[in-house]
């Protein structure tokens, strides 16, 4: 016999700055939000050592600590936060029917999607070891820590070109490491790279290993894609800029997405193509990808969900 279906006004899928902010606003609007935190409660910030660019934290804060504070604030107003993930959802009719990984079924009047995006990594053990200690996937977040230092950027698309030019303003030197002999980035981005004197492209090379002293990064070992020879570069940090994958797979075929899987929202809103379903944070934002912008769209999603519910009554 099937377990009884739980009825909820507002289901929030995913946590992180977008999910927790949506929960704070939804709870204060008496929507009694139920949040499934996802595989990585707190989102990408939980693998960030120090966050210094979020307003209100003048001394900076570790990512995990910050997310615990966001969570505590959401719970203070009555958010029901739960471990686990939503594995299936039917958005074809209201109430929307969702299934959690423990088999629990939920009927939701509104859904806020805050599942985020996952940075693509090279898949090296050494990369994982130094993640947060010289290895990063976000120049805007972590570039400040490498002022006047030497860094490497891995990638050849617009993301890599953008990260390299951003870092070039802060760092003494930037190596742009790419496996081919030309960039895939747009012409405009390529021009910016080639006009920046302290960016040095390293063509036809891949990263074999991230080197360090056991605490922080101090170099990178590269392999030549043409002849297999190896060389070492002395760097203080390595930025992986090979893209992100939005965590939107369970909504495939139901919500409109762009060619990369980011959920499309009506510009200036968090409204998706399905009334009553809202998307906030990095799952719908491939441009800014910042904690503060994610929090902003979380706020928007909750306000829009509350107004939408009011209009239905």
For the segment 123-178, what is each residue's pLDDT rounded down to a tens digit?
A: 999 999 999 999 999 998 899 999 999 999 999 998 899 999 999 999 999 999 99
Q: Where are the domains of the chain?
A: 6-118+244-312, 121-240
Q: Single out the catalytic residue among 30, 101, 102, 138.
A: 138
CATH number of 121-240: 3.50.50.60
Contacts of residue 130, defined as CB under 8 A and 6 or more positions apart, other chains included, come to 210, 212, 216, 217, 238
Q: Average pLDDT for residues 10-33, to the nearest whole number?
A: 97
Active site residue 90: no
- Quick check: is 10 catalytic? no
Tell me whether the CATH fold assigned to 6-118+244-312 matches the one assigned to 121-240.
yes
80, 101, 102, 141: which one is catalytic? 141
The pLDDT of residue 39? 83
- Measured CA to CA, the distance from residue 233 to residue 151 in angstroms comes to 9
Identify the CATH number of the domain defined by range 6-118+244-312.
Answer: 3.50.50.60
DSSP letter (8 states) at residue 117: E
CA neighbor of 206 nearest in space, from 227, 230, 183, 179? 179
So what's the pLDDT on residue 3? 61
What residues are paired with 90 via a beta bridge?
97
Active-site residue (options: 10, 142, 171, 236): 142
Tell me the mean pLDDT in the region 231-249. 96
> Are 177 and 207 a contacting pair, CB within 8 Å?
yes
Q: Using an 8 Å Cβ cutoff, are 15 and 67 in contact?
A: yes
- Asked whether residue 22 carries a pLDDT value surpassing 70, the answer given is yes
Rounded to two decimals, what is the model's pTM?
0.84
How many CA atoms, within 13 angstroms, populate the side-chain half-sphere of residue 243? 10
Report percent pLDDT > 90 for the chain. 88
Q: Is 299 a catalytic residue?
A: no
């Amino acid at each position: 016999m099937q377990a009884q279906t739980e009825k909820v006004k507002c289901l929030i899928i995913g946590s992180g700055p977008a999910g927790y902010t949506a929960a704070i606003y939804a709870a204060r609007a008496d929507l009694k939000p139920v949040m499934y935190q996802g595989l990585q409660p707190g989102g990408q910030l939980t693998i960030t050592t120090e966050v210094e660019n979020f307003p209100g934290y003048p001394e900076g804060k570790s990512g995990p600590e910050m997310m615990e504070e966001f969570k505590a604030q959401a719970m203070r107003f009555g958010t029901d936060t739960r471990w686990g993930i939503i594995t299936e959802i039917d958005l074809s009719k209201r109430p929307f029917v969702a299934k959690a990984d423990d088999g629990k079924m939920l009927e939701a009047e509104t859904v806020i999607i805050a599942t985020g995006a996952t940075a693509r990594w090279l898949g090296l053990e050494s990369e994982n070891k130094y993640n947060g200690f010289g290895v990063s996937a976000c120049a805007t977040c972590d570039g400040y820590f490498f002022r006047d230092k030497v860094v490497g950027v891995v990638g050849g698309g617009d993301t890599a070109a953008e990260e390299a030019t951003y870092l070039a303003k802060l760092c003494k030197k930037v190596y742009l490491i790419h496996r081919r002999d030309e960039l895939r980035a747009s012409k405009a981005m390529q021009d910016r790279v080639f006009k920046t004197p302290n960016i040095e492209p390293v063509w036809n090379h891949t990263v074999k290993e991230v080197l360090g002293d056991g605490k922080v990064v101090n170099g990178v070992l590269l392999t030549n894609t043409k002849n297999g020879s190896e060389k070492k570069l002395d760097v203080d940090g390595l930025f992986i800029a090979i893209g992100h994958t939005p965590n939107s797979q369970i909504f495939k075929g139901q919500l409109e997405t762009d060619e990369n899987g980011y959920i499309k929202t009506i510009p200036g809103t968090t409204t998706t193509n399905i009334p009553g379903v809202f998307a906030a944070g990095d799952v719908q934002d491939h441009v800014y990808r910042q904690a503060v912008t994610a929090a902003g769209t979380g706020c928007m999603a909750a306000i829009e969900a509350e107004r939408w519910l009011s209009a239905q009554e």
